[in-house]
Structure 1
Amino acid sequence: MSDILLLKALKSQPKNVNLNNKHLKKLPKLVGKLTSVLQLELKHNQLSELPDEFGQLEQLEVLNIGNNKFEDLPSALRHCINLLKLHAFSNNITSLNPIVLNNLDRLTVLNLNHNLLKTLPPEICRLANLEVLSVEHNELVELPFEMCALMNLKEFRANCNKLQALPLEFGFLMNLEQLHLAMNKLKELPENLGKCYKLRVLDIAANELRIFPTEFIELPLKEFYWEENPLLKHMPVKSIQEEEVLSLKEIAARFVMKELKDRWSYLRRSIRHYPAIREMLSQSSRCALCGEAFLNTWLECVRFIDSEQINTLKITPRHGGNKPPLLPVRALLCSYKCFNSSGHKFYGVAFPQ
């Protein structure tokens, strides 16, 4: 039956071929003769592999192999160098063949929803033109930092996985517009998420988040879904902390960073000869209260921000829900001296016993 269908297709040299719902267990080698096809639909069959002749479809731009029995991306796809969209949802895929990924650098859409992926290979970064990556309903526990090199990525969907954290380099995805991470196990979001200046939609519902990153309020969100997270609550308790004793390394680092603000400082001229020190100081933070730089002795605090007062945060609640009245946003203070000063609205984070 499949040979007859392909023979009929060959007579007209079509651009689009639809073989959905044909109960195919094996695709005939004759498919390699469809050299003019641009879009091929193979979903809702019983395929577990593609013949080597499939690689002759070098003009193919859109392929849908959804709802089949593939356990990996077929190796024949490495020859489909003009592929733009690949839909491989609802299969049994447990891994992604790096050889295939290395050759699909024109791909813009990759749909791997409803598979058995536990991780993505580092070679995912080879998909340099990828704009949409969807891996919902898999078993992902982590994401490779190499994924953050996908500079053209606009939409990332990873709802319903087992993610516990995002790569620290996530802020490099500066063209990201939609981020869907609902129903995972995230305990925090990376600090540099605030660098995703184009992010419009953020869904982090049903995770384990207690606080948002420092620059979160700078995101120009239009839609924000936060339900079912154990967010910190605004329940102030008076507390005075004794001034801590700083290490010699911390004292020296703070002194150097203060000196570097003086354009005539001897240290500013000399530090160029010490790249290791420059690298260390580049990891410093800045106090949310006094503005002074510090290295690694800091006090994690929180400030509660009324979402109604944030001009850039134009939230559209899902299902007609309410906006969160107060958003807990992380703030770093350089010392208990700043924390104990009066007039500010930073609170120490207390964890229940």
Structure 2
Amino acid sequence: MARAAALPAEEGGKRNMAELLRALRGGQGTRSLTLTARGLHHLPRGLGNMQGLERLNVRNNRLRQLPQAMETLSRLKILNLGNNNFEEVPEQLKYLKSLQKLHLFGNKITRITPLIFDGLQNLVLLNLNNNQLSSLPPEIHRLGNLECVSLDHNQLKCIPKEFCYLQKLRELHLSHNSITVLPEEIKNLTKLKILILSRNQIDDLPDGLCSLEKLKVLDIAGNNIRIFPTAMEDLELEELYCENNPLLQKDPVNAIQEEDVLTLKELTARFILSQLENKNVSLHKAIKQNLDAQNILSRKQKCAQCGCGFLGMWLECVHFVDIRQTMKTSRNLELLPIRVLLCSYKCFNQRDHELFGIAVP
């Protein structure tokens, strides 16, 4: 790379032309072409004759668009367009039926036209790092073979719930964006192993995240997270990074406890839930015939202390879990704050538990 930069302009131009001519003469027999850091504004017209091309690397140039001839490269598997001047994902890419890896990092891309999702059915890797994307089209779920998506250093505020139906996704990189919330549908990414969410603006992680049984690496460093979902302990993580979050600390403070005053709706819900738990057959049949009641009771919670069900009035507590022996973590992180819900102060005041109330700043 350094030697190429040091060549005189005339000598570098001759070398570029010679390499292009050799590749073009090869025609359909040429399988790989590399034209990196050549100052190219356009790709050669003869590119369309290289129909046997499988790998094309034209990163570090000045390309803004692709020639129509790209549509004929039906055998192309790897395409690197990184560090150019594209402002949107080129529509011609939808014709590349064999493409498996697409690199578009370091451009000026602000939008992705949904039209490209009509093709690219064999794409397994998509790299759009260091662009200017503020949103993703829901149609991205059509790329059903994607296994790795990297969108670091963009301007994303959220990801569409449709994104979470990429059933084969194993790696998702979303660091250095402006994401504030993750969809509950993230639970559908059942093959996800690596999830990088560092340096965003996330306040809470969805409960659905704890359903990802294959997740091994989670990086949520540099967000606004204070406490983790209740089922966080169920994840068999190998690496967890969460430095620079305002995590709850195990610091005793004095607090004033209020008496539990339950609403009539809450009292009724708790009675019904207890009867259902005790196998009240008549009540169970009645509930099955009432859709409104089913919808209301589907939002039930379970007290972590007594095990009884409740609906909308609960006490949020925290349980600190020692994770030092189970996974690689951020430096100095020993106790992980996990959210726990209790049905009453009566349960909170029971002895012999390691639950703590949350102090409001």
TM over 0.5: yes
- With 193-202 and 88-97 compared, the bigger mean Cα shift is at 193-202
* Structure 2 unmatched ranges of 5 or more: 1-12
On the 8 A contact 2:314/2:344 being kept in 1, the answer is yes
How far did residue 132 of structure 1 move?
0.6
Q: Distance in 2 between matches of 1:201 and 1:259?
A: 42
1:71 aligns with 2:87: yes
Q: Distance in 2 between matches of 1:273 and 1:130?
A: 43
How far did residue 10 of structure 1 move?
3.5
User: Considering only CA atoms, is the larger Rg found in Structure 1 or Structure 2?
Assistant: 2
- With 288-297 and 3-12 compared, the bigger mean Cα shift is at 3-12
On the 8 A contact 1:71/1:93 being kept in 2, the answer is yes
How far did residue 22 of structure 1 move?
2.0
- With 276-285 and 37-46 compared, the bigger mean Cα shift is at 276-285
How far did residue 327 of structure 1 move?
1.3
Aligned to 1:96: 112
Which aligned pairs between 1:22-33 and structure 2 lie closer than 5 A? 22-33=38-49
How far did residue 6 of structure 1 move?
4.5
1:270 aligns with 2:286: yes
- With 136-145 and 249-258 compared, the bigger mean Cα shift is at 249-258
How far did residue 276 of structure 1 move?
3.8
Which aligned pairs between 1:143-292 and structure 2 lie closer than 5 A? 143-239=159-255, 241-263=257-279, 265-292=281-308
Residues 255 and 82 from structure 1, CA distance in 2 versus in 1: closer, same or farther, beyond 3 angstroms?
Answer: farther
On the 8 A contact 1:262/1:268 being kept in 2, the answer is no
How far did residue 98 of structure 1 move?
0.7
Aligned to 2:350: 341
Deviating beyond 3 angstroms after TM superposition, the runs of 4 or more aligned structure 1 residues are 1-7
- With 63-72 and 48-57 compared, the bigger mean Cα shift is at 48-57
Aligned to 1:47: 63
Q: Distance in 2 between matches of 1:102 and 1:216?
A: 38
How far did residue 249 of structure 1 move?
2.5
How far did residue 264 of structure 1 move?
5.2
How far did residue 270 of structure 1 move?
2.9
How far did residue 239 of structure 1 move?
3.7
How far did residue 48 of structure 1 move?
0.6
Q: Distance in 2 between matches of 1:227 and 1:203?
A: 9
Q: Distance in 2 between matches of 1:208 and 1:34?
A: 51
How far did residue 42 of structure 1 move?
1.2
**Which of 327, 331, 348 is matched with 2:340 structurally?**
331
**Which of 8, 14, 17 is matched with 2:22 structurally?**
8
On the 8 A contact 1:243/1:337 being kept in 2, the answer is no
Aligned to 2:132: 116
How far did residue 3 of structure 1 move?
7.4
Q: Distance in 2 between matches of 1:262 and 1:52?
A: 69
TM-score by length of 2: 0.89
Aligned to 2:152: 136
- Helix, strand or coil at the partner of 1:252: helix
Q: Distance in 1 between matches of 2:51 and 2:303?
A: 62
1:84 aligns with 2:100: yes
* Structure 1 unmatched ranges of 5 or more: none
How far did residue 138 of structure 1 move?
0.9
Aligned residues: 345
- Helix, strand or coil at the partner of 1:351: coil
- Encode CA deviations 1:271-318: one digit per residue, 9 max, x unaligned: 222334323322222111111222222221111122236xxx32254x
Aligned residue type for 1:314: M
How far did residue 225 of structure 1 move?
1.3
- Encode CA deviations 1:138-170: one digit per residue, 9 max, x unaligned: 111111111111121111111111111211222
On the 8 A contact 2:223/2:245 being kept in 1, the answer is yes
Identity, in percent, stands at 43
How far did residue 94 of structure 1 move?
0.6
- Helix, strand or coil at the partner of 2:230: coil
- Helix, strand or coil at the partner of 1:304: strand
Aligned residue type for 2:23: A
Q: Distance in 2 between matches of 1:113 and 1:54?
A: 23
On the 8 A contact 2:167/2:190 being kept in 1, the answer is yes
- Helix, strand or coil at the partner of 1:344: coil
On the 8 A contact 2:253/2:359 being kept in 1, the answer is no
1:315 aligns with 2:328: yes
**Which of 295, 304, 309 is matched with 2:320 structurally?**
304
- Encode CA deviations 1:305-349: one digit per residue, 9 max, x unaligned: 22236xxx32254xxx33x22211111112222223333222221
